[in-house]
Amino acid sequence: MRGKIVGIIIFMLLTTPLLSTTANAGDEENPEITDSDDDAFGNIDIKSVWFWEKSEEPDCLFVCMKINEPKLYKIQQTFAVFWEYNGTIYGCGTFIGLYIIGWESWSAGEYINSAPAGGPNYFEIDKGTYDKSTGIITWKIPKDILGNPNPGDVLTKTWSNAFQRFGFLGLIGLSRPIIDQMAKIFFGNSLWDYAPNESNEYGLDYIIQY
């Protein structure tokens, strides 16, 4: 009898942290990635990022990014989230051009930074929303372009970024770092945000649920 009780206690100690981690994953209150406020202009200032799934749509992964101060009339913004699965880097992103004509492009898949347009396995997707009232950007991504992760698999090395583009300044030869430095000098804020704060930091892992 005593042996059974000890066994139950050991089982509870071993499983409770796992159950707690799983229960807390994938919502706005318990995001995998958090970032400092006011370290970039509000329309690209990342507050948090979280991953989640729906039992009724087990073939899709949802990714949400929350921006601190979304603004309706900001042009050429880019938002992206990245992670690693089975040694491969995956990501999702959206580019917002001119709000006036509703120009938005959404993409996801295996991401190669040095490859044009993210590489041959980084695809355009048609499932995405940007709620201007809450600042929440949501990607709905088919898992078959994300390596087909199974329940219990782990997405690691999570991070994200957001930045403001300036096409004309780029065309006349100014690089993004130079443009960002100019913005800091003249406006006191950054046109580029990383979450977590530093480019070599990562957020929490996410465990696939379905």
The residue-averaged pLDDT of 118-132 equals 92
DSSP 132-168: TTTTEEEEEEEGGGTT-PPTT-EEEEEEEEEEE--HH
pLDDT digits (tens, 9 = 90+) for 51-95: 999 999 999 999 999 999 887 666 678 999 999 999 999 999 998
Four-residue CA torsion sign, 136, 152, 84, 115? negative
**Neighbour-count burial of 64, counting CB atoms closer than 10 A to its CB (0-12 exposed, 13-18 middle, 19+ buried):** buried
Residue 190 has pLDDT above 80, yes or no: no
Sheet strands side by side (includes 33-34): 33-34, 46-54, 57-67, 136-142, 128-131
Q: Within its chain, how far is the Cα of 153 from the centroid?
A: 18
Residue type, 147: G
The residue-averaged pLDDT of 120-149 equals 94
Q: Pick from 159, 165, 164, 166: which is nearest to 194 by CA? A: 159
The per-residue pLDDT for 25 is 60
Phi, psi dihedral angles at 80 (to 5 degrees): -150, 150
User: What distance in Å separates the CA atoms of residue 103 and residue 126, rounded to the nearest whole number?
Assistant: 13
pTM for this structure?
0.81
The residue-averaged pLDDT of 99-109 equals 78
User: What distance in Å separates the CA atoms of residue 160 and residue 104, rounded to the nearest whole number?
Assistant: 19
Residue 96 has pLDDT above 60, yes or no: yes
pLDDT digits (tens, 9 = 90+) for 154-188: 999 999 999 886 655 544 444 456 555 655 655 55
The per-residue pLDDT for 26 is 73
Neighbours of 126 (CB within 10 A): 7
